Structure 1
Amino acid sequence: MATCSPGDYLIVPRNCHISVISALVLSGVVPKYIIPEYNSGWDIAGGITPLQLDEAVKELEEDGKRVGAVLVTSPTYHGVCSNVQGIASVCHPRGIPVIVDEAHGAHFRFHDSLPSTAIEQGADLAVQSTHKVLCSLTQSSMLHMSGDLVDVDKVSQCLQLLQSSSPSYLLLSSLDAARDQLSQNRNIFDEPLAIASETKDKLARIPGISVLDLPCFASDFPAIDPLRITLSASNLQLSGYEADDILYEGHQIVSELVGTRAVTFAVNLGTRVQDAEKLVQSAKHLSEKHFFANSLKPVKENRVHGPLENISVHLSPREAFFTEKRRVKIEDSLGEICGELICPYPPGIPVLIPGEVVTHDSLSYLMSVRHQGITISGAADAELNSILVCDL
C-alpha cells in the first residue's frame, strides 16, 4: 500500500506467501505473477531470476500498465535465495521499488558464511520474521527500509491503518532482547553452522537419502540458507509425509516443514549436537529398514505435477473476493474460477488464488494432498470435498 495504488501492478512470484494475496485483496493492486523454477523430483519451487523479472516488466510496459513495485520471496521456506542484487538492478533504473519477503532470513546479517541480506543487495523494503530463526517471541517481526524510492511517511501511515493501536510491549521487548543477544556475541552462529554442515554431509552419505542443494536447480541462484536441511527419501519409495511420520512417531524427530517428496529441518541457536546426531541416526534407521525391502518392490509412480504451472487469471484477487460465490464438488470444479484461497499449510503457498481458473494440474495436486491428509488453509471446506467458485 505504501508503494502501489489501486489498479497498479505488483510483480510477484507465484509461490508467494498467503499474506501477499491478502494484501492484494485489501489494496486493490493487481498481481503479475512470475512462475518460479520448479523441481518436480523434490516438489519444491525455487526463486525467480532477474531475466524473468525484466521480461515481466517489459510485458506490462508494452501494455501501458504501471508497475508499482516488485516483491520477491528470498529466501524461500526451503532456504533458496534469489539474486536480489540483480533484480534491484533491473528495477531501480525504472524507479520501481523492490520489496523482499525475507521472513526466513532475519539471521543472514550475523555471520559471513550466511547469504547477503536483502538490504545489502539493494532492496528498498525487507520484511523479516525475527521469531523464525532468531529468539524473539512468535508474531514479532521487523520491517527494514533503505534508499529513497519508498516514502517513509507513507509507510508509517499504512502501518497505522493495519496495526493495532495497542501494540504488545511483550513482543516489542522480545525484539529488543533478540537484538541485544546478537550484539553481544558476534560468533553466535558458528556452532549452528558447523552442526548444519556436518549433518548434511552425514545425511548425504546414507543410502536412499538425498539432500537438497543448489545443483538441484537449473537457475543460477546465489545461495541456499546453510541452516536449512531438506532431505528426501524418495529413493526409499517413501513420500515426504511417510518419512516424516516415521521420524516423528518412531524417533520423536520434529520437522520444520513436510511436503509430498521432502522433509525440511531448521537448525537454529537452540540446536544441539546431540539433536543433529539423533536426526542422522534416525535417517540411518529409515534407510536400513526401507532401502533393501523397497528395492524388491515395483517402483511407485509418485511424480508430482507442478501446481504453479499453466496459471490462468480471470479476475484480480480483490474482484474475485467480492464476487458472488457458489459451492461445487471439487471433482466438478475444472474450468471454474476459484472463489477462495486454497493453500496446503505448511508451507503457506497457495495452490489456487481467488480469480484463477481451476486447471487440471492444480486440481490433480489438490486431490493428491487431500488423499494424503494434508492440512488445507483458506478453504471453507477444509476436507476439500467442495470449493467455492465465482458465480459469474
Structure 2
Amino acid sequence: MEGRKAAAVFITSPTYHGICSNLAEISKLGHSHGIPLIVDEAHGAHLGFHPQLPNSALQQGADLAVQSTHKVLCSLTQSSMLHMLGNIVDSERIGRCLQTLQSTSPSFLLLASLDAARAQLSENPDTIFNKAMELAFEAKHLIKEIPGISVFDLASFSNFPAIDPLRLTIGFWQLGLSGYEADEILCRDHGITCELVGTQSLTFVINLGTSRDHIQRLVSGIKHLTGTHAPIHGGKGRLQHSGCTPFADIKMSMIPRDAFFASKKKVSIAECLGEVCGEFICPFPPGIPVLIPGEIITDKALDYLLDVRNEGAVITGASDPLLTSIVIVVAHAMPPIFCRLTPSPVIIINHQHTSYPSFNF
C-alpha cells in the first residue's frame, strides 16, 4: 500500500466480554495524520454514565461510534444509534450514504424506544447505573468464592486499559465442563439464560433490569453446578483449548468476493482439508466466522469446529450445520468479471474474526 493513505481506523471496543481498547491514544495518533477513528461500540451504549464505567468512544475522541442501544440500554431489539463528533468526517456525506441504505419506511416503534432510552438516561445520568454496578460487584465477589469457578477480570488482560464491570464472564474449565454444557445445565435446571456461550465460559450482562433475585438465582445455580461436578485434581479440566488456535495460520487463497462468485461444490469433511472454503462457517453463539469464503481450510480450524460442534455449539452459515460436509471453491474456477473498485484501505484493529476467545483464567 505504499503511497496510499488509510481512509480510517476501525476498532471494536468494547468486545463482547467487555474488554476496552485505549481509544484516546489511538484517536490522538490517527488525528495527528488526519485519519478518523470509527468505533464499533455495539456493546458500549452505557459507557460513560457512571464513574466506574470506562469512558465512551466519543469521550475518548472517536469521530464515529455505532452503538447497539438495545444490548444494554432499554430500547427495543434492532434499535441502534450512530454518533458523530468533530469535523474530520463530513456529516453531509454520512447523511447521503445513510440515504442509500436506510428504509423510507422506518419502524416508529424502534425510533420511539430509542427516544425513551435516551430520556431514561437523561433523567438521572449520574445515578442510573448505581444499582446495576452494585449488583455486578456483589455477583463477582460471591462467585469468586465458589470452588472450581473462575471469574474473568482485568488482571487477565493487563495490557488493556479497562473492562466493562457490568460484564460477568465465568469459567468452568476446572470442573471439566464446556461452556455449552454449563449453559445447558443452568438453563434446564435453574432457568438461567446467559448472554454468550464460550467453549469454557459463560458471559452474563448486568443491566438496568437486573435485580438482586436474579443475582441470587445465578449464584445458587452455579453452586448447585459445582456440587454435582467437583473440581478436577490439580485444577486442570479436560478442556484445554487455546483461544486463538484456529486463527494462528490463516491463509487466504482468494478475496471473499471472488470466492463468493466462483463455482463451488460440496465435499465430505474428510476431503476438504487444504481446499478453499466457499461459505461462512460460524459457531453460534457468538456467530464469529471461523472460516470465510476464500480462506484455506486448515487442520486447526477444522479441529476447532468439530470440537465446538461436539460440545454443543450450533454451526450457522454452513450449508450443512452438522459439518459432515463443507462447500469449497472448485479449483481454478474464476468468478464472473465485474467492475473492481479500489477504495482507500481501512486499518482494522481487534477485528473479531482474528480473535475467537476461549478464556482459561
Same fold by TM-score greater than 0.5: yes
> What is the aligned partner in structure 2 of residue 224 from structure 1?
163
CA distance in 2, matches of 1:329, 1:83: 44
* 1:302 aligned residue (214, 228, 240): 240
Contact 1:107/1:134 (<8 A) preserved: yes
Residues 213-254 of structure 1: per-residue CA shift (max 9 Å, x gap): 122125x11111100100011111111111111111111111
Specify every segment of 5 or more residues in structure 2 that has no aligned partner in the other structure, as ranges: 333-361
Residues 111-159 of structure 1: per-residue CA shift (max 9 Å, x gap): 1211111111111111000001000000000001112222212211221
> What is the aligned partner in structure 2 of residue 204 from structure 1?
144
2:254 aligned with 1:315? yes
Give the SS at the match of 2:7.
Answer: strand
Contact 2:20/2:161 (<8 A) preserved: yes
CA distance in 2, matches of 1:226, 1:262: 17
Counterparts of 1:4-23 in structure 2, within 5 Å, are none
CA distance in 2, matches of 1:328, 1:264: 35
Give the SS at the match of 1:105.
Answer: coil
Q: TM-score, normalised by structure 1?
A: 0.80
Residues 328-367 of structure 1: per-residue CA shift (max 9 Å, x gap): 2233222222221111122121111222221222111111
CA distance in 1, matches of 2:5, 2:268: 38
Gap change, CA 1:171 and 1:64, over 3 Å in 2: same
2:326 aligned with 1:387? yes
Structure 1 window deviating more from structure 2 (279-288 vs 370-379): it is 370-379
> What is the aligned partner in structure 1 of residue 38 from structure 2?
99
2:180 aligned with 1:241? yes
Q: TM-score, normalised by structure 2?
A: 0.86
* 1:138 aligned residue (43, 60, 77): 77
Percent same amino acid at aligned positions? 54
Q: How much has 1:376 moved relative to structure 2?
A: 1.9
2:92 aligned with 1:153? yes
Structure 1 window deviating more from structure 2 (295-304 vs 355-364): it is 295-304
Contact 2:13/2:44 (<8 A) preserved: yes
* 1:344 aligned residue (283, 287, 291): 283
CA distance in 2, matches of 1:96, 1:314: 30
Give the SS at the match of 1:110.
Answer: coil
CA distance in 2, matches of 1:85, 1:285: 43
Q: How much has 1:169 moved relative to structure 2?
A: 0.8
Q: How much has 1:258 moved relative to structure 2?
A: 0.7
Q: How much has 1:301 moved relative to structure 2?
A: 5.0
Gap change, CA 1:298 and 1:182, over 3 Å in 2: closer
Residues 153-204 of structure 1: per-residue CA shift (max 9 Å, x gap): 2211221121211111111011001101111122110000000001001101
Specify every segment of 5 or more residues in structure 1 that has no aligned partner in the other structure, as ranges: 1-59
Contact 2:143/2:151 (<8 A) preserved: yes
- Tell me: higher relative CO, structure 1 or 2? Use CA pairs within 8 A at least 6 residues apart: 2
CA distance in 1, matches of 2:74, 2:326: 39
> What is the aligned partner in structure 2 of residue 362 from structure 1?
301
CA distance in 2, matches of 1:169, 1:285: 44
Alpha-carbon RMSD across the aligned residues, in angstroms, is 1.9
Structure 2 residue identity aligned to 1:303: H
> What is the aligned partner in structure 1 of residue 353 from structure 2?
none
Structure 2 residue identity aligned to 1:309: A
Structure 1 residue identity aligned to 2:15: T
Give the SS at the match of 1:231.
Answer: strand
CA distance in 1, matches of 2:236, 2:285: 30
Give the SS at the match of 1:291.
Answer: coil
Residues 257-283 of structure 1: per-residue CA shift (max 9 Å, x gap): 111100011111110001101111111
Contact 1:304/1:365 (<8 A) preserved: no
